[in-house]
């Protein structure tokens, strides 16, 4: 099937893939709150593939659906004129944010040319209090100086703004070793070839040391067990780290 698709013109590939997915995953046991479409199951995804993970329609993963559920239930992101910074934008969310926020929405990435601006999050070229909202998910584990990146996020965040800075938590205590540079060794040590650390439960302390107050939201804080199963929100969805600036005094 993949060989056949590769021979087709680019303009035909994408809609044909969508049609094939719609047929293969036809059903109503799963529901994606982002694209509002149903399927029989979610697709496998991951370095070590997780079953029931990726929406066959919009491509969202568990962490994206968890974020969307949180935004719907706890934060009215689209009220007013919030200026939002979205680092390493995920396509399943980017199109919605762009449509709803318009010129107040900024995407940034160090390597992806599709982003609006090229940005090193350890040296953000914007003044203090530039953004009302910052969303950065599964990026900091790739950044050698993650604490500097956290301080930069805190600096450019508006005094009354918020940031969601999510990472995968895979152990009890954070482990990093800058001497490990070989991709295969990083895979063994950190779980992925381009990761430079694996985060533990002490991640929240790194955020607090960088100037944030942190609220941790878990999957079962947002829906009952039946709803979570329907949306594929298992423990693989992780947690949401909702950060606001610490205020002196």
Q: 200-237, pLDDT tens digit by residue?
A: 999 999 999 999 999 999 999 999 999 999 999 987 78
Query: pLDDT per residue over 105-145, tens digit each?
Result: 999 999 999 999 999 999 999 999 999 999 999 999 999 99
Shared domain check, 43 and 164: no
| pLDDT at residue number 6 | 62
Closest CA to 29 of 56, 61, 66, 68: 56
Domain of residue 17: give its range: 1-60
Structural domains counted in the chain: 2
Average pLDDT over residues 181-199: 96
pTM score, whole prediction: 0.90
Shared domain check, 131 and 172: yes
Three-class SS of residue 185? helix
| pLDDT at residue number 7 | 63
Long-range contacts of 16-24 (CB under 8 A, 24+ apart): 18/57, 21/56, 21/57, 22/56, 22/57, 24/56
The structure tokens listed for 29 are 């046991």
Shared domain check, 77 and 22: no
Q: Give the residue ranges of DSSP H helices in the chain.
A: 2-6, 10-24, 62-74, 91-101, 146-156, 183-190, 203-209, 225-230
Q: Is the pLDDT of residue 147 over 60?
A: yes
Query: pLDDT per residue over 40-92, tens digit each?
Result: 999 999 888 899 999 999 999 999 999 999 999 998 888 878 999 999 999 99
Shared domain check, 74 and 33: no
């Amino acid at each position: 099937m993949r060989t056949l698709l590769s021979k087709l013109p680019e303009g035909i590939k994408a809609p044909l893939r969508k049609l094939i997915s719609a047929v293969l995953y036809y059903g109503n046991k799963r529901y994606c709150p982002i694209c509002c479409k149903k399927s029989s199951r979610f697709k496998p995804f991951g370095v070590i593939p997780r079953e029931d993970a990726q929406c066959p329609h919009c491509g969202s993963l568990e962490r994206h659906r968890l974020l969307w559920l949180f935004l719907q239930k706890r934060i009215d992101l689209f009220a007013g004129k919030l200026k939002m910074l979205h680092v390493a934008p995920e396509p399943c969310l980017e199109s919605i944010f762009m449509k709803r926020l318009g010129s107040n929405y900024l995407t940034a990435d160090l390597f992806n040319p599709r982003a609006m601006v090229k940005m090193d999050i350890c040296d953000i070229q914007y003044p203090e209090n530039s953004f009302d909202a910052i969303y950065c998910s599964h990026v900091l584990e790739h950044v050698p100086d993650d604490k500097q990146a956290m301080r930069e996020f805190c600096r450019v965040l508006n005094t009354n703004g918020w940031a969601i800075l999510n990472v995968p938590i895979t152990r009890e205590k954070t482990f990093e070793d800058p001497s490990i540079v070989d991709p295969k060794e990083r895979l063994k040590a950190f779980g992925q070839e381009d990761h430079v650390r694996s985060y533990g439960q002490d991640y929240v302390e790194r955020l607090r040391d960088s100037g944030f107050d942190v609220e941790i939201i878990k999957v079962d804080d947002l829906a009952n067990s039946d709803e979570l199963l329907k949306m594929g929100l298992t423990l693989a969805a992780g947690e949401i780290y909702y950060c606001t600036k610490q205020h002196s005094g």
